[in-house]
Amino acid sequence: MADVEMAKTLIKVGGILSVIEPFLIAFMLLLTVIGVLFAVPFAILGFWIYNRANECIELIENGEYKKAKDKLLIPAIIALILTSRVGGILMLLGLVLLPSEESTSTF
């Protein structure tokens, strides 16, 4: 279960970084004329990635690891390519640490 907790932490931190970095990029782009066109999409994309990361944390807490992996794979790759390199890498590492099967209790 330590891997699951570490995966949740990595996904949370990656989600937060995916929000912070686009806002910093958007702020710097606002200083230029062409930046006005890119500032709002970067901010919306970062917020979408953060929301998907939070939804995946809820799925992980419910033991639905496969659904969490499927739900976060695309946002993590988009974060890696477009918004936050570090945040995308952390989210992908978190997905790798998750177990591949659903959790089952045998009490």
Does residue 12 register a pLDDT over 90? Answer: yes
Tell me the average pLDDT across 23-45: 76
Q: Which residue has the higher pLDDT, 42 or 73?
A: 73
In angstroms, the CA 36 to CA 26 distance is 8
Q: Copy the structure tokens of residue 24.
A: 């910093």
Give 48-106 pLDDT, tens digit per residue.
999 999 999 999 999 999 999 999 999 999 988 988 888 899 999 999 999 877 655 55
**Residue 72 near residue 52 (C-beta atoms within 8 A):** yes
Q: What is the pTM of this model?
A: 0.82
